[in-house]
Homo-oligomer: A and B are copies of this chain.
Amino acid sequence: MTKNVPAKTVGRLSLYRRLLRRLDARENPHIFSHALADLAGVSAAQVRRDLMTVGCGGSPARGYGVNELIDELSAFLDAPEAQNVVLIGVGNLGRALLAYFPARRPRARIVAAFDTDAQKAGRVILGCRCHAVSEMEEVIRREGVSAAIIAVPAAHAQDVAETAVRAGVRGLLNFAPVPLRVPAHIYTEDIDISTSLDKVMYFARAGFGADDVRND
């Protein structure tokens, strides 16, 4: 069924949904592609093409129905039932993620965390039970976890990724500053903060003329 929607499109659809939810649908129950495009910082044609890709339609007279769109996007983006997620690495970043996620993402339940620090094993940190890394494979299997968030130092990232994949995880959100070598059918999203800062520092440098920077 799913017609091979590009990752970039999925990303924008997630953004559209978030922006639409911030709108008060009572004030304005409909929105035109160019208005949503403005909010998202993309072109109107891009919005229409993205929505078309997942079968969302609007009317030339009124545009797209806000609530309708939110529901259709959710039907596309969300799995039928909530998906279980684990966090690997409960350092500074890991704790920030624990504080950030559970609140606003009820469809992705962080069911367990793992850390090599023996002090942390067994404790409950920010509402999330923390286990030793040695228990990871068993817990992931038992809980039917579909994705893992990797927030460990570079040196351990490949290792924990392999363990997670062996246990049946199908998606990885990788904050470690190294690319992971995993089988092709495992989806990996890298969030490389160091590289991002390098890019910002590079383009923030004085010396770019009229600034014809090609961003993506």
Copies of this protein in the assembly total 2
Given contacts A11-B196, A146-B205, 6 further A-B contacts (CB under 8 A): A7-B216, A11-B195, A78-B201, A92-B95, A146-B201, A172-B200
B193 touches A191 (CB 8 A): yes
Give the most central of A14, A41, A216: most B CB within 10 Å. A14
- Minimum Cβ distance to chain B for residue A5 (Å): 8
- Minimum Cβ distance to chain B for residue A176 (Å): 11
Complex interface residues of chain A between 1 and 47 (CB less than 8 A to chain B):
1-2, 4, 6-8, 10-11, 14-15, 18-19, 22, 39-41
Partner of A203 from B154, B171, B213 at Cβ < 8 Å: B171
- Asked whether A198 is an interface residue with its Cβ less than 8 Å from the other chain, the reply is yes
A105 touches B197 (CB 8 A): yes
Complex interface residues of chain A between 59 and 111 (CB less than 8 A to chain B):
77-79, 83, 85, 91-93, 95-97, 99-101, 104-105, 107-108
Q: Which residues of B contact A185 (CB under 8 A)?
A: 208, 210-211
Q: Interface of chain A, helix or strand or loop or mixed?
A: mixed
- Minimum Cβ distance to chain B for residue A207 (Å): 7
B173 touches A187 (CB 8 A): no
Also in contact, A193 and B41, with CB within 8 A (given A171-B200, A213-B187): no
Q: Which residues of B contact A210 (CB under 8 A)?
A: 185
- Minimum Cβ distance to chain B for residue A92 (Å): 4
Also in contact, A205 and B83, with CB within 8 A (given A14-B199, A215-B187): yes
B189 touches A191 (CB 8 A): no
Which 7 A/B pairs are nearest by Cβ-Cβ distance? A171-B204, A187-B203, A41-B179, A14-B198, A92-B96, A171-B200, A170-B204
- Asked whether A169 is an interface residue with its Cβ less than 8 Å from the other chain, the reply is yes
